[in-house]
Amino acid sequence: MENILAMIFATLAGVSTSLEAFINGELGKNTTALVATFISLVVGTIFFFINICLTGNLKTLLSVNNINPKLLLGGVLGGLVIYFTVKSVPNLGVSKTLTLIVVSQMIVGFFIDLHIYKETMHLYNYIGAILLFVGTFFILN
């Protein structure tokens, strides 16, 4: 059951990413990529702050004083994802942009799994990666 829920959340993340890319790309056409990124992050911050308050997690938010500063880079990287997507979508379209995002995520994910989590990669992982590259070639051309 836990894996099914994780798969549902991952699928929802994919759907959200696609919709976010489209919406932020349109927002970037009406402003600039930097302003669109800022607006997106501010609206997201307000949305999650309201949710933190409504779920009673405000104490947890206020007590996060022992966080390693390196872990704050996730917020910067999230902002860069939005910025780079806003810059790419008007020229490539949503599907090509997201294809390149997914392929790059997979490559980095393989390295993280191999080197950080010491996971062994099954032959099927390598075959899947090769097919991903072949599919990417066809989507982009």
- Domain ranges in the chain are 1-91, 93-141
Separation between Cα atoms, residue 85 and residue 79, nearest integer Å: 10
Residue 139: its pLDDT value, please? 94
Residue 118: its pLDDT value, please? 85
Vertex 104 angle, CA 38 and 121, to 5°: 135
Separation between Cα atoms, residue 101 and residue 14, nearest integer Å: 11
DSSP class of residue 119 equals: P
Residue 119: its pLDDT value, please? 79
pTM: 0.86
Contact 28, 86 (CB under 8 A): yes
Within 8 A by CB and 6+ apart from 101, the residues are 17, 81, 85
Long-range contacts, stretch 106-109, CB < 8 angstroms, 24+ apart: 106/132
Query: HSE (CB half, 13 Å, CA atoms) of 78?
Result: 13
Which residue positions in the chain have pLDDT lower than 70?
none
